[in-house]
Structure 1
């Protein structure tokens, strides 16, 4: 974790509305979580290199211009700093081929984006709570 006990998340998605919804949901789950946003895989890599520590979770949309989420995962996994980072591909597609490619590239999980705010909240809340160590 980047701060003493502040969870950090980076989310890359080329859709500004999806980025806004994701950030809103995470803030509603826990306003102390720091969320960093990027508009594609290239910007995600740049932002990750600028951060003082690896975020607790990295969410990447699959279909982005410049560099897809799958390409971004593969690139990051080749760098020592990100070998153990939690990377989740987060997409509107539920294609088994895309999921297979993503997991083969090194993603820890492949999640289909929910259709509603409530479903998105419930899914991300479970992930965030699972990532926070019990005290």
Structure 2
């Protein structure tokens, strides 16, 4: 029996959150997607007792606290540093990609402009992390 996977999407654009919810319903109906619209809202949620996503999908350009700022705070917090973070951005600027990896993002994905393209991207992301976590869980169980 596989555990339910929990994902957190941090994106200030309501239409992007809506598209992600639609995509999740199609691609990962067994998963739980929580959406928030700001870095501060995400940080509050991540610091609340009992909330532990398996993967965070993080927009880069947001007002207030940017994706980089949230990533920096997370990686400096021992309780949050281990959570994989996939940067989702419309920016394909090399300096943004470099900065994301310097801050220990797990991956960087330039958002597709089309819903079909976004579905493909999300499907690959979900498949990768589902497989990664399954291998991790099996290794943990074998060593227990």
Aligned residue pair count: 132
| Structure number, greater radius of gyration | 2
- Structure 1 runs (4+) deviating above 6 angstroms are none
Q: TM-score, normalised by structure 2?
A: 0.86
CA distance in structure 2 between the partners assigned to 1:25 and 1:5 by the alignment: 20
Residue of 2, 11, 22 corresponding to 1:13: 11
1:65 correspondence with 2:26: no
The residue aligned with 2:128 is 130
* Gap runs ≥5 in structure 1: none
Question: 1 CA distance for matches of 2:82 and 2:28?
Answer: 24
Aligned residue number for residue 97 of structure 1: 95
**CA shift digits 1:87-115 (9 cap, x unpaired):** 01100110100111111112111110011
1:71-90 matches, within 5 Å, as 71-90=69-88
Distance 1:88 1:129, change over 3 A: same
Does the Cα contact within 8 Å between 2:46 and 2:80 map onto a contact in 1?
A: no
How far 1:47 moved relative to its partner? 1.5
CA distance in structure 2 between the aligned counterparts of 1:36 and 1:18, rounded to whole angstroms: 13
